[in-house]
Amino acid sequence: METPNLDYINELSGDDIAFKNKFIEILKVEFPMEKTHYLDTIKNKKNKATAEIVHKIKHKLNILGLQESYRLSVIFEEELRLGNNRLKDDFLKIMNSIEAYLKTI
């Protein structure tokens, strides 16, 4: 399994520590809310709403250096739109990994 990292954020922010910290803070605030919303919609079998959340979250995967997870999320989003949530457990593992990582930075 991939490990989240700050490589992209470090590259983007360069020497601007304030920008980097603000970027990280946004992730730390937004991600838990998005995860909660995801869990609610997947539990209630609202595939279209879940697909919209996955769409939002997938961009954070790229930001955190998770290219394989991003590719999985693209497939998952499309499958949700077609009524299939077979990748829900895989996506939850990714989100749990991100959640744990965000607590360390």
> Mutual orientation of helices 67-81 and 88-102 as an angle, nearest 10°?
140
The pLDDT value given to residue 68: 97
Q: What is the pLDDT of residue 1?
A: 72
pTM of the model: 0.92
| Contacts of the segment 20-27: beta carbons below 8 A, 24+ positions apart | 24/105, 27/60, 27/63, 27/64, 27/102
Q: Say how far apart CA 42 and CA 29 lie, in whole Å.
A: 21
**What local confidence, expressed as pLDDT, does residue 6 receive?**
96
| Contact between residue 54 and residue 46 where contact means Cβ atoms under 8 Å apart | no
pLDDT at position 70 is 97
> Which stretches of the chain drop beneath a pLDDT of 50?
none
